[in-house]
C-alpha cells in the first residue's frame, strides 16, 4: 500500500500560471518535506514542516509556498512558474527530524510550457 | 559548508558481480548517513542507514561502510542483479537536521 502519495504524477502548466501539487501520507509522520529534483541531479530541499511549524530553506525562491492543513496532507504552491521550475517534485515524510528515515513519494513531474 | 559528493558518476558491472559505490562527505559533524536507490521516474527508496557510532552495517545483500577518519562512505551490493540498476544517492545529516544528498552514481548491471 502506498504510504506517501503524490498527485498528480504529471502536471503541465503554462508559464506564469499558478499550480498546486499535493502530497498525502498514511504514516502519521510528524515531518513532511518538499524537494525539487532536476534531471540528473540530487534532490534539493525546498522546505519542510515539523507538525505545523514551517521551515523554509534560505535559497528557496519566494515563488514557492507550502501549506499543511493537517497531519496527512501537504501542498506545494508555485505562484508563477517559470521555465526553470520544470522538474520532478518529491514529497517525503519522516517520523522525526533527526536520524529518521525519510520515505519518499513517487514524485510529480512538472512541465512548464 | 555541508556537502556530500561521489567519486564516480557511473558504474557498470556484470550481473552476479559485487558492486561498490563510494561517497565522500565533508561535514565531520554529520552523524547519520543514508543510501537511497532511485529508479527512473520514481522517488528515492531507502536502502540502508548508518549512524556515526558504527563503521559497518549489513542488510540483505547490501553493506554500508563508514570511515570517519577519511570521511568516506561506501555501499556494497553483493551478487548484483539487473533490478539493481538505478541511481544511488548517499545522504548525510548533521547538526542542521537537513538531509544533504550527494550527486548520485548511476549503476548499470549488464546481463
Distance CA A58, CA B67 (A): 31
| Selection from B49, B9, B4, B50 nearest residue B24 by Cα | B4
Asked if B51 and A99 come within 8 Å (Cβ–Cβ), the reply is: yes
Using a CB cutoff of 8 Å and minimum separation of 24, what contacts does B28-32 make? B28/B68, B28/B71, B29/B94, B29/B95, B30/B2, B30/B92, B30/B93, B30/B94, B31/A99, B31/B93, B31/B94, B32/A98, B32/A99, B32/B92, B32/B93, B32/B94
Mean pLDDT of the B8-30 span: 91
The dihedral through the CA atoms of A89, A95, A97, A98 has a sign that is: negative
Residue B48, pLDDT > 50, answer: yes
Task: List the 14-53 stretch of A: residues with Cβ below 8 A of B.
Answer: 40-45
Residue B5, pLDDT > 60, answer: no
Asked if B44 and A106 come within 8 Å (Cβ–Cβ), the reply is: no
Nearest CA in chain A to B90: A42
A chain contacts of residue B99, beta-carbon cutoff 8 Å: 45, 102
- Of residues A34 and B27, more confidence is placed in A34
pLDDT at res. A109: 97
pLDDT at res. B94: 82
Q: What is the mean pLDDT of chain B?
A: 90
Q: Do the bridges between strand A73-78 and strand B86-93 make them parallel or antiparallel, or are there none, so unpaired?
A: unpaired
Confidence of residue B1 (pLDDT cuts 50, 70, 90): very low
Distance CA A110, CA B106 (A): 23
**Distance from the first to the final alpha carbon of chain A:** 34
Asked if B45 and A97 come within 8 Å (Cβ–Cβ), the reply is: no
Task: Flag whether residue B2 sits within 8 Å of chain A, measured between CB atoms.
Answer: no
Asked if A99 and B45 come within 8 Å (Cβ–Cβ), the reply is: no
Task: Flag whether residue B94 sits within 8 Å of chain A, measured between CB atoms.
Answer: no
Chain B: closest CA distance from residue A74 (Å):
17
pLDDT at res. B6: 44
Mean pLDDT of the B14-40 span: 93
Asked if A42 and B93 come within 8 Å (Cβ–Cβ), the reply is: no
Residue A11 cell numbers, joined: 502536471
Task: Flag whether residue B6 sits within 8 Å of chain A, measured between CB atoms.
Answer: no
Task: Flag whether residue A90 sits within 8 Å of chain B, measured between CB atoms.
Answer: yes
The dihedral through the CA atoms of A5, A8, A14, A19 has a sign that is: negative
Confidence of residue B8 (pLDDT cuts 50, 70, 90): low
| Average pLDDT of adjacent 10-residue blocks, chain A of 113 residues | 90 97 96 94 94 94 97 98 97 87 95 97
pLDDT at res. A1: 67
Confidence of residue B2 (pLDDT cuts 50, 70, 90): very low
Q: Which of A102, A106, A107 sits opposite B99 (nearest CB)?
A: A102
Burial of A27 (0-12, 13-18, 19+ CB in 10 A): middle
B chain contacts of residue A107, beta-carbon cutoff 8 Å: 41-43
Amino acid at each position: 500500500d502506498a504510504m506517501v502519495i503524490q498527485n498528480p504524477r504529471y502536471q503541465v502548466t503554462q508559464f506564469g500560471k499558478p499550480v498546486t501539487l499535493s502530497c498525502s501520507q498514511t504514516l502519521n509522520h510528524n515531518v513532511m518535506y518538499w524537494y525539487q529534483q532536476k534531471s540528473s541531479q540530487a534532490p534539493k530541499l525546498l522546505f519542510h514542516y515539523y507538525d505545523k511549524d514551517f521551515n523554509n530553506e534560505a535559497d528557496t525562491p519566494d515563488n514557492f509556498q507550502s501549506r499543511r492543513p493537517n497531519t496527512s496532507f501537504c501542498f506545494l504552491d508555485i505562484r508563477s512558474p517559470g521555465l526553470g521550475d520544470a522538474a520532478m517534485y518529491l514529497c517525503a515524510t519522516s517520523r522525526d527530524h533527526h536520524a529518521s528515515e525519510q520515505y519518499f513519494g513517487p514524485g510529480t513531474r512538472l512541465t512548464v510550457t | 559548508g555541508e556537502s556530500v559528493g561521489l567519486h564516480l558518476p557511473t558504474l557498470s558491472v556484470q550481473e552476479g558481480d559485487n558492486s561498490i559505490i563510494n561517497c565522500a562527505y565533508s561535514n565531520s559533524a554529520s552523524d547519520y548517513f543514508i543510501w537511497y536507490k532511485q529508479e527512473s521516474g520514481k522517488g528515492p527508496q531507502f536502502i540502508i542507514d548508518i549512524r556515526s557510532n558504527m563503521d559497518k552495517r549489513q542488510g540483505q545483500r547490501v553493506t554500508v561502510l563508514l570511515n570517519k577518519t577519511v570521511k568516506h562512505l561506501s555501499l556494497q551490493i553483493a551478487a548484483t542483479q539487473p533490478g539493481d540498476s538505478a541511481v544511488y544517492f548517499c545522504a548525510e545529516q548533521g547538526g542542521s537536521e537537513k538531509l544533504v544528498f550527494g550527486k548520485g552514481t548511476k549503476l548499470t548491471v549488464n546481463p
